[in-house]
Amino acid sequence: MFYIGNHKDRIVSFTIRKEIECRTSSIAENQFNSLAELQEKKDTFGEICIPNFKYGKNDNFVWYESDYIKGRIIKREDMKLIVWKECILREDSFTLSNYDRTNYIRCGESSKIYFIDLNDCRHMTIEERMTSWKKAGY
């Protein structure tokens, strides 16, 4: 994602890198496969955008580097309306699995909502999602 500098004299881009050391190779493989599936399905979350990202694995280390989204944490109402619809009620069992508001950012430039903790996605039943949703306080 690119941003125009404050003085409109430059174009700036930000990225963020996350590295995860997994206790076992099978956990690392699962994390890697989840990122691969997210990359494949990133455009299927309706009103929730997934930033551009690349990812990789080296032994028990999994990493991803994504666009940094400048903006604000979404409002509780957005969680109840948008995240509920796009993640909890999603037909595909592969979904975003973290329902903490700090993981959903409304971009200051586009006003789009982005999910930013990209390794928090997996296959879940709707019942499992609803349980996680309730545990998150909704």
Q: Are 80 and 12 in contact (CB under 8 A)?
A: no
Gap between the Cα atoms of 26 and 30, Å rounded: 6
| pTM: predicted TM-score of the whole model, two decimal places | 0.90
| 70-93 confidence digits (pLDDT tens) | 999 999 999 999 999 999 999 999
List CB contacts of 83: < 8 A, sequence separation 6 or more. Answer: 48, 74, 96, 99, 104
User: What is the model's pLDDT at position 12?
Assistant: 74
Which of 23, 20, 47, 46 has the alpha carbon at shortest distance from 34? 20
Gap between the Cα atoms of 35 and 7, Å rounded: 37
User: What is the model's pLDDT at position 11?
Assistant: 74
**Residue 133 vs residues 25, 41, 94: alpha-carbon distances, Å:** 29, 22, 16
In the numeric block, the tokens 């206790």 are attached to 23
Going by pLDDT thresholds of 50, 70 and 90, the confidence category of residue 7 is low
Burial class (CB in 10 A: 0-12, 13-18, 19+), 98: middle
| 13-67 confidence digits (pLDDT tens) | 789 999 999 999 999 999 999 999 999 999 999 999 999 999 999 999 999 999 9
